[in-house]
Amino acid sequence: MSALNGQDEPPPDQPVADDGEVHAARSEQDYARLRMDIRRVVARVCPSWLGSRAEDLVQTVLLRVLALQQRSEGTVQLSTFYLRKAAHSALVDEIRRQRRRRELPLDSESEDAGPPSAIPDPESFSSGRQVGRAIRECLRALVRPRRLALVLHLQGHSVPEVGRLLSWSPKRAENLVYRGLADLRRCLAARGVTP
């Protein structure tokens, strides 16, 4: 093959693709690979009773990942750990959303539909009160911004909703919620309360 401008000529049976077409093809392949990775991660974390919402969860995680890449202008490298974290976060948000709406699956034969709604025995009731008391005490010990963000989050609001309700940037709301959760776990563990 002869060289033109320091590059080899393409074989005569292959069409010449410009840089835009090559970039678009690579982007489509990257997008398809990312979607498959997210689908695998969601399949691992999604319980069977939420199986009908799995594709919605994939879309939610995909949107979050693409928004992150856009904000970072493509400089961020996505690890499997980040994808698991994003899928878990989307799953928790979906479960909270369903609990707020009191959505129930149509087929009552679902085995993994959650705990039965029975009246707790006195021992469970007492330990529940002790856990509730410990949570309230730990929340009181948090600094005010973390406490506000965490209380809203524990009430079922998503992190973006917390930011909107408190007129904070999404990043600030996210930091305060997750740092508040870490503080709460440490405080509860110090009191001997474990999940």
**Measuring CA to CA, which residue among 41, 155, 53, 44 is closest to residue 104?**
53
Specify the amino acid at residue 97: R
8 vs 160: CA distance, rounded Å: 52
What's the CA angle centered on 142, arms 140 and 143, to 5 degrees?
115
What does the pLDDT read at residue 112? 52
Look at residue 171 in the predicted model and tell me its pLDDT.
Answer: 93
Radius of gyration of the chain from its Cα atoms, rounded to whole angstroms = 24
Check residue 121 and report its DSSP letter.
Answer: P
- 69: tokens are 């890449």
Q: What is the C-alpha to C-alpha distance for residues 129 and 133, in angstroms, rounded to an integer?
A: 6
Query: What pLDDT is stored for residue 26 in this prediction?
Result: 54
pLDDT more than 70, % of the chain? 74
Kindly state the average pLDDT of the residues 138-163: 90
44 and 85 Cβ atoms separated by less than 8 Å: no
User: Which CATH code is given to the segment(s) 134-190?
Assistant: 1.10.10.10
The DSSP code for 142 is S
Secondary structure of residue 78 in the 3-state scheme? coil
Residues 171-191: what's their mean pLDDT?
90
pTM of the model: 0.39
**The pLDDT of residue 36:** 87
The packing angle between helices 144-154 and 122-141, to 10°, is 150
**pLDDT tens-digit map of 5-40:** 444 444 444 444 444 444 445 578 877 888 888 888
Domain definitions of the chain by residue range: 19-101, 134-190
Residue 18's pLDDT is 47
Distance CA 155, CA 69 (A): 30
Determine which of 5-14, 140-149, 166-175 has the lowest per-residue pLDDT on average: 5-14
Instruction: Kindly report, residue by residue over 52-106, the tens digit of the pLDDT.
Output: 888 888 888 888 888 877 887 767 777 777 777 888 888 888 888 877 766 555 5
Both tokens assigned to 183 = 């503080």
